[in-house]
Copies of this chain bind each other. A is one copy, B any other.
Amino acid sequence: MQGVIDYLEQNESRFVSELCEYLRFPSVSAQPKHRSDMQACAAWLVKHCRQIGLEARLCSTPGHPIVVAKTPRGKAKGRRRPHFVVYGHYDVQPPEPLELWKSPPFEPRIANGVLYARGASDNKGQNLAHLKAVEAYLKTGTELPCDITFVIEGEEEVGSSSLASFLRKHRAELACDAIVISDTGMPTLKHPALTYALRGIIGFEVTLRGPSRDLHSGIFGGTVDNPAMALCQLLGKLRDDNGHVTIPGFYEGVQPLSAYERKQFARLPFNTRDYQKFLGVPRLFGERGFTPLEQRSTRPTLEINGLTSGYQGEGSKTIVPAWACAKITVRLVPNQEPAQVMKRIGQHLKKLCPSTVRLETEWGHGAEPYLVSPTGPQAQAALRALKSAFGYEPVLAREGGSIPIVNDFKKILHADSLLLGLALPDCNAHSPNETFHLSCFAKGQLMAAHLWQELSKC
């Protein structure tokens, strides 16, 4: 192992340059204009994997291609040789609003040991750490105790719609002992974390249509409903002043927090004042009876992600807009059922919508919430790898984000996912000025190097 560790240290600056190269691709999966950038990014990744010594290929899908890269298969000694899949994604969130970035999102910048770029944490930097750890094994001729297959997709930010059928098609090739994913976070460098639960998600758009065109608000205003007002009134009824979602049946199946879980949360470093200051809000807000850490990872939420109606340019335009639209996501927790929640939301929207406007609801991607026992041998192995790399006792965490694919891995490959996040709380994932701390990049490589040793002992 010392050869692997030395190699990682000696090549640190080259690895950072390679990450920057990777980050320069504006691989925004949500925006059709970036289709060729997506292709170029995937092609770069295949080439990079081959340089490392992996057997890599590009698998086309109905959407963006998936990169598959495998270590040279070793020989089992006595018992079946373990096989692990490392999952990641090369697509990134849209960078908008561009004007809030201090440097261009696709021109990586390093300042005080922090790398700034869209995708730095989510997920290019975190995933590349795993590739670099494997590179260290392969380039130093150190024997890997297991086979590893990287599956790096390009649709994570738009719902991973091609991955499930890809997994089904390659079920035999991808049959494995566990999935390893670094796409979550850790509280501080002194609190490396294993995430054992994730929130699920439902995304949808609500559009209310009134008049067939924007109307002069003087000439016609007063005789027709205003779709923007109707939308405000409808959406405003979905959540109460205490942050509680008011859709009937919404909380059905939600598991109460156990004393053990609450104790784990209490172990996590958290300072309310610092957190509030970090987010820049005048006051925190959330469901009563839960701490902020519990609110953001163990409770379901309903968030408006975007509102669009009428005139948005400079100055004023005196109209009754023809339509108003909201983009909404709902975060789900164990054991809410996405299909069931969608049904209840759809029914409630229909019930609330006045007859003066027409309701259109478009359902987007969904993902089930995820929960896995943190006490199993693989989880314990992962905790040892974290401790070896970071030098601190790891924490067990639940995260508020969604990684839609973990449930597909469970259902299709029958394997649990080990979530070993490397992003710090200031990573600004999905926000302007996304960051990745270079120390997380380096420690992440070290953790990944240790991980194969620990996991292969299970």
Contacts and interface: CB of A to CB of B under 8 A. Distances in A.
Contacts of A377: none
Interface size class of chain A, counting residues whose CB lies under 8 Å from the partner chain: 35 or more
Given A223-B284, A307-B324, A357-B282, A315 B213 contact: no
A445 interface: no
A181 to B, nearest CB: 15
Interface stretch (A47-55, A259-267, A326-334, A340-348): A326-334
Interface in A419-455: 425, 428-433
Nearest to A434: B216
A356 interface: yes
A400 B218 contact: yes
Given A220-B400, A304-B232, A225 B285 contact: yes
Interface centre among A185, A217, A311, A358, by most chain B C-beta atoms within 10 angstroms, is A217
A311 B296 contact: no
B285 A356 contact: yes
Given A305-B317, A329-B318, A221 B279 contact: no
Interface in A361-377: 364-365
Interface stretch (A71-79, A137-145, A234-242, A248-256): A234-242
A400 B321 CA distance: 17
Contacts of A314: 30-32
Instruction: State the majority secondary structure of interface residues on A.
Output: loop
A214 interface: yes
A331 B218 contact: yes
Contact of A432 (B213, B236, B275, B285): B213
Contacts of A100: 213
Interface in A392-441: 399-402, 425, 428-433
B306 A317 contact: yes
A286 to B, nearest CB: 5
7 contacts: A94-B313, A201-B218, A218-B331, A223-B292, A225-B283, A231-B307, A304-B324
Interface of A: 29-32, 93-94, 96-97, 100, 158-159, 185, 199, 201, 203, 210-226, 228-229, 231-233, 235-239, 241, 243, 275, 279-287, 292, 295-297, 299, 301, 303-321, 324, 326-327, 329, 331, 354-358, 364-365, 399-402, 425, 428-433
